[in-house]
Structure 1
Amino acid sequence: MSEKLSFVNPTANSPWGTYLSQVDRVVPYLGPLARWVETLKRPKRALIVDVPIEMDDGTIAHFEGYRVQHNMSRGPGKGGVRFHPDVTLEEVMALSAWMTIKTAAVNLPYGGAKGGIRVDPKKLSLQELEKVTRRYTSEIGIIIGPHTDIPAPDVNTNAQIMAWMMDTYSMNVGGTATGVVTGKPLHLGGSLGRVKATGRGVFVTGREAARRLGLDLRGARIAVQGFGNVGSVAAELFAEAGAKIVAVQDHTGTIVNTNGLDLAKLVPISRTDGVVGFKAGGDIVPNEDFWNTPCDILIPAALEGQLTADRAKKTTAKLVLEGANGPTVPEADDILAERGVLVVPDVICNAGGVTVSYFEWVQDFSSFFWDEDEINVRLDRIMMNALNQIWDTADKHKIPLRTATYAVACERILMARQERGLYP
């Protein structure tokens, strides 16, 4: 935790550098609370763990894992766990910080946390994947818990992995602790509506943003980068509202159809073969061409740092909906603002997932579960209330939605920090 590189000198356009730049931009709007702003620039706690397992062939493999708790002034840490070969401590730090902002932006009683293992899960057997998950959970078990830090699914993790994490933690504490993770299978305390929640949040905030812009969703052209649970669900909901999904990109490539892609056929094919498996439904184009495909709404729902300055100059979109965490670098933000492109930032746009995770956590403690209609009504109300308050702040100060989101969130976080004081 004493490494200055992580806190002070992040690499250019790195996730942590992007986050720090976003915090710096909001300082003028924090008033007397600005004296506490360094709190937001330093994670509360970062844990690096070795994850050794015996592989199926009898060899011993070691993987590096992380769990970062950025800020817990408003409640337990909350944030996903990703399994990816490119995971780094700096990335996890940024993701945990964005979770701090996100939970405060929608006014959930949480702080921000994030975890990850540097591993390619596609190269592991199911048995090896379970071993990695359980060993990692045991290693971070000293800092997670239903009242301290609650993991959830993220990139390359799912309900099964959450079930293994919950079981491992439960065995170590000597009793079933369903509330230690969210995103679990339904019969283990999971919540209805959780799988589609993030994509639904993107749609709900996007629908309101389009209405305020005077952009009719009927016939609107939409390009989606990333076609997992977030991108595909958002695409389906926009299509149901009458929009045309004209371009989709995932890890296999990019497919374009200016007349609109047939999602009923594309979605199931993408689950097994990726979007390029839908050869009959559109044209396969180079990945970079995705960014200049004519569209009205752009949804980056893949990984962070995808919407660069050059790509911001290319897009024809009037509205950007950040389904991913940190997809737009600061220079691109400035270019989009200059071009009059409205950006609904990640920390509000994709907060549907953590909101329904909160519902799941509450349901686990009460052992009383809601139906999906009630969950969706509650989700829509929380998302709309949060967005409207942020929009009012943006209009009041004549600032972008991202800065307004950070102003609202940081005020809540730093007010909690100030009122709690410093101990000892």
Structure 2
Amino acid sequence: MTELYIKDIQLMDQTGQLYLAELWVKQGKVAGIGTDLSPLVSDKAQIIEGKNNLLAPGFVDLHVHFREPGFTHKETIASGSRSAAKGGFTTVCAMPNLNPVPDNVADYQHIQQLIEKDSVIQTKQYGSITKALKSSELVDMKGLKEAGVFAFTNDGVGVQSAGTMYLAMKEAAKLGLPIVAHTEDESLLFGGCMHEGKRSKELGLPGILSAAESSQIARDLVLAEATGCHYHVCHVSTKESVALIRQAKEAGVHVTCEVCPHHLILTDQDIPEDNGQYKMNPPLRAEEDRQALINGLKDGTIDCIATDHAPHTAEEKEKSMREAAFGIVGSETAFPLLYTEFVQTGIFTLKEVLDWLTIKPAQVFQLAAGEIKVGSSADVTLLDLDTCYHIDSADFVSASSNTPFLNKQVQGKSRYTVANGQIVWQEEEK
């Protein structure tokens, strides 16, 4: 294992104050934190010059799509994990809408082998709730837990049957594992491709009702209370959803949830034309929804930020919103967008944003991540908070670059990312 000596860095304390420090990494672990560690470090250690940049815990993303196996023309475990590393992420949770779906032990173990071979960061693979992501037959949850599954989700589609969801939650509660839900009642979609509102009418495009999301959350919260299951809601996007989750938390239901950067930053009014790059699921909502998401983060209703990194080819996105694939990439843009839009404007503190990207998501699933402390895995990212640049598709490490944020000027980026004591991303010096 590489021995690292990271000099001239700033660390953040529990109050959000920055202080000068050094970090010593040995055998994949944080071996020391102090102001002069040089007497402890061997002459074989690799030195990283911190240049007074902020060293943060490696980011934790509960929601990525790496597309392998089955869709490697969009992304692979290798390219997706490097994309995450470039964005400062050292732990990610990969969704199971793959081919084959990891709905049995053999296919799950095959994906695990691919991850061990190709991922440069810690990648945890979800198991599916049901066979083939259909809403009928449950997977062998006990067998998948024994094989290493940490949580179950059908992300990409909502579980349409309340009976199936009830049985899934009952079994998951017995096993002590979370049910993670993409909430979408398909009977309320009506062929929609963007948020149902004034802008969808102006563009002549079919809308997606807010109720398609919130009605299924309401159903699931009742089931979660009845079963005692830990229920985690993916990519919350509407004010009604936030209100329901807030009410359920106050009532003692074990519910957690995440929000994506794009839903915090953009609304349907930001869609300039019928452009597939703005098509995502859930869609960009109204300004009142965006404000509810911001308030939900502030008051703790929303637990953390996740990217829903969803790569697609240019051919799949460069078409009308009616036909384009749902989803945008997010691993490489999440931190600079959040820092630029919210920290620089004083809406969130830097500590809040870092917490929502590190310790908070780690706590949701009790992951050993999100902190810098002696003895912990050396998962860190060195953040240059001063550099301004434009988001450029030519700079993407991901195999795809589908995002409406191309050409946007942002500030802040990861110079180095270290996972398990190994340098997995290093920004080229210019």
**Structure-2-length-normalised TM-score:** 0.31
Per residue, is there more strand in 1 or in 2? Answer: 2
Q: More helix by proportion, 1 or 2?
A: 1
**Larger RCO, structures 1/2 (Cα 8 Å, 6+ apart):** 2
